[in-house]
Amino acid sequence: MEAPHPSAARARVSHAAARALLAVLYGPRAHGVDHVPRRGPVVLAANHTGYLDGAVVLGTSPRPSHFLVLDRSFTGVAGLLLRASAQIPIDQRRGDRRALGQALAVLGRGGVVGIFPEGGRGRGEVESAGKGVAWLALRSGATVVPTACLGTRATGALAASWPPLRTRIVVDFGPPVPLDLPDGLPGRVRLDTATERVRAALAGHVRAASERHGIPLPADVPPDLLD
C-alpha cells in the first residue's frame, strides 16, 4: 500500500515549534531568506555536520519543510518527533522510491523538501553529493536553494552531540541553483550534470558563508563515525 503523503498541517506546527525552541536554546540567525521563494516547490539542499542540522534549517527556513531523514533515526523519542512533524524516512542502502515519491508529492503541492546531499554528517564541505536533489528538481521543476548550516558541531565533537547552549549558529540561504540544461541531453547525462551543478553551487556557498560569518567548518569527520 502506498504511504500517505506527508502532512502539510503537521509541517506547519513543527516549523513553529522548532523556531520557538531554537530561539530559546540557541537563537540561530538566518540570512538570505529572500532567496527562498515564498510560493511554489522548493528543495533546500544543505550541508551536514551536526545532529541538529535538520531542526536548525527547518526552524530558520521562512517556510515549513519536510526533510528526508535516514530511516534508522526513526526510533525512540526522536522517531516519535520525526513522525509527528511529518519528516520523511529514507533508506539509503537501496534506492528508496517510496521516500522519493513522498518528496515528489510534497513538491507537487507546492511545498518545501529539505535534503542533505552529502548523505551523512561529516565536515560539511560537500566534496561529494547524491543525485536526489537534482532528480527531484528535474522531475518537479522545484527551485533548488543551497543552504549553509554553520556552528552545529565543533571539531572533535561526536556525530550525535548537541552544541553547547547559546552556541552561535547561522543558516545562510543562497541564490537558487540554475538547472536550465541544454535540450537533447540523455537522461543519465542530464541527471549527472544537474547533480554536479548542485554540488558545486552548495560547496561554494558553504565556503563563502563560513568565511563571511566567521564560523569554521569542523576539521574532522565525527570521531564516532570512523570506528
In this prediction, residue 1 carries a pLDDT of 36
> For residue 200, which amino acid is it?
A
In this prediction, residue 214 carries a pLDDT of 98
Give the pLDDT mean for 26-46. Answer: 98
In this prediction, residue 64 carries a pLDDT of 97
In this prediction, residue 73 carries a pLDDT of 87
In this prediction, residue 92 carries a pLDDT of 72
In this prediction, residue 199 carries a pLDDT of 98
Judged on CB neighbours under 10 Å (0-12, 13-18, 19+), 1 is exposed
Instruction: Categorize the per-residue pLDDT at 36 as very low, low, confident or very high, splitting at 50, 70 and 90.
Output: very high
In this prediction, residue 91 carries a pLDDT of 87
What spatial distance separates the first Cα and last Cα of the chain, rounded to whole Å?
A: 38
Residue-wise pLDDT tens digits, 76-113:
888 889 999 999 999 876 667 899 999 999 999 999 99
Q: Please check the confidence at residue 123 and state whether its pLDDT lies above 80.
A: yes
In this prediction, residue 226 carries a pLDDT of 64
Kindly report the number of other CB atoms within 10 A of residue 195's CB atom: 21
Which residues does residue 185 pair with via DSSP β-bridges, in sequence order?
none
Nearest to 6 by CA among 135, 100, 77, 103: 103
Is the separation of the CB atoms in 146 and 45 below 8 Å? yes
Could you write out the DSSP letters of every residue in 102-161?
HHHHHHHTT-EEEE-TT-S-S----SS--SHHHHHHHHH-PEEEEEEEESS--TT--TTP
In this prediction, residue 184 carries a pLDDT of 86
In this prediction, residue 72 carries a pLDDT of 87
For the chain, the average pLDDT equals 93
